[in-house]
Amino acid sequence: MRIALGLEYDGSAFCGWQTQPSGCAVQNALETALSRIADHPIATVAAGRTDAGVHAGWQVVHFDTDAIRPESAWVRGVNALLPPAVSVLWAREIDSAFHARFDAMSRAYRYRLLPRTSRPGVLHGHVGWWHGPLDIDAMQTAARALVGEHDFSAFRAAECQARTPVRTLHRLDVGPDGDCIRFDLRANAFLHHMVRNIVGALVYVGAGRWEPGAIATLLASRDRRLAPPTFAPDGLSLVGVEYPSRYGLPAAPEILSPF
């Protein structure tokens, strides 16, 4: 039997999604709790492997088990065994052909950035930071060059293991969010550090270091060495994963951020 779960977690409490020998990852905590409920070892597969410090408001995973349990056991029972910073939102028995990673049609991320002279205190670990004002209109203008299908090599981490740098970015919106600025992105898939590298480049535009047209030039160059440094993970959250309707999984709210 295959089970799909929806999760949320505060990534600042973990060393990332993917299991580590030290047991510091979200996957370690989840598999330990699931294994106790199932009474046998459980291995999970996630829609996306978030990095250390990256949060999730809507992560989706699947696992296989022979244990017959009510759905409530996979939610309330597992939550009783998880650390406070991670929570199961829902559970569904699902077709054995379902794959949390390969069946995902799109993924959505939100980055929240605080632009002020003083670093964040209350929001430390939950927002990115830039030490001054940023021009939102200039960043939104520059962002338009990235929407569509492109080779995103200039926004790809050196250690990225994806077979191709080509991705389709369906959405990239930049707008105010209280005292912060939010960057909303949706794509068929993302390269390693792609969102944080896009945010870093747009911040250079917002700060007046680059003209908006520089983003299109950087994209066309396919050269990561020409780009600004990778931005901090603190403000990044996985906020949605879209699947074919035939699976009947819950859909993430249109606007969702854990912080």
Active site residue 51: yes
Q: Is 166 exposed, middle or buried (0-12, 13-18, 19+ CB in 10 A)?
A: middle
List 10, 51, 103, 234, catalytic entry: 51
CA dihedral (214, 216, 217, 222) positive or negative: positive
Distances (CA, A) of 108 to 30, 104, 124: 22, 11, 23
Alpha-carbon span 198 to 229, nearest angstrom:
10
Alpha-carbon span 14 to 17, nearest angstrom:
8
Residues in Cβ contact with 32 at an 8 Å cutoff, skipping those fewer than 6 apart: 23, 81
Residues carrying an active site annotation: 51
